[in-house]
Amino acid sequence: MPALYSPEWFSGFDILFELFFALISLTIASFAYWIYTKSDQRSVKSLSFAFLLISLSYVARSVPSATISLYAHIVLFLSGLAILVSMTLKQKKALCALLAITLAFLLLFSNTLLAYYLISSVFLVVISWHYIQNYLVHRQTTALLVALAFIFLFFGSFHVFMSVNHEIFYFIGYALDLLAYILITVNLYLVLKK
């Protein structure tokens, strides 16, 4: 499996981005778990676990030049997204099916990175569409921020995928992911402020 292409001029900065994304994801996981301990809502516990997996995926991806860390990132990130999709669809039984299909697709597809980007794109589109609909119904700023964050994560992922041929796409992908996590942080702040 080819490693992600990182332009020489961006080398090192991508690791800082990954660690920042890991920190934000861990903060969201911790906050969701704290809410779970107060409310005993299973969906919030699942949200916490999903973002914990996403946080660990970014930690794995921050390890430079290690193929095993890239595989760990892919499995952890897609598992976190699968949990978010099953929550979005409100189908607990869907989680096992999503994980099985995801892992089978990764194992059977000859280009693991292409499979990863295709699967994560589908998951991010489903999650984005859910939050767009949520915003259209409730017209709340927090719903809009979450919708935009997942839309930016989708486009960020797509731009990193396109970076194989154009190194500027690599930077644009990270910039979009950064914008997504800034929106998630603002959303978290607004929720805490209430």
- pTM score, whole prediction: 0.79
- What does the domain layout of the chain look like in residue ranges? 9-193
Q: CA 119, CA 56: separation in Å to the nearest integer?
A: 19
pLDDT digits (tens, 9 = 90+) for 35-66: 888 887 788 888 899 999 999 999 998 887 66
With a CB cutoff of 8 Å and minimum separation 6, the contacts of 27 are 185, 188
Tell which phi-psi region holds residue 140, choosing left (phi > 0), alpha (psi between -120 and 50) or beta.
beta
Tokens of 171: 């930077």
Rounded to 10 deg, the angle between the 13-39 and 42-61 helix axes is 160
pLDDT digits (tens, 9 = 90+) for 111-140: 777 778 788 888 888 888 988 998 999 898
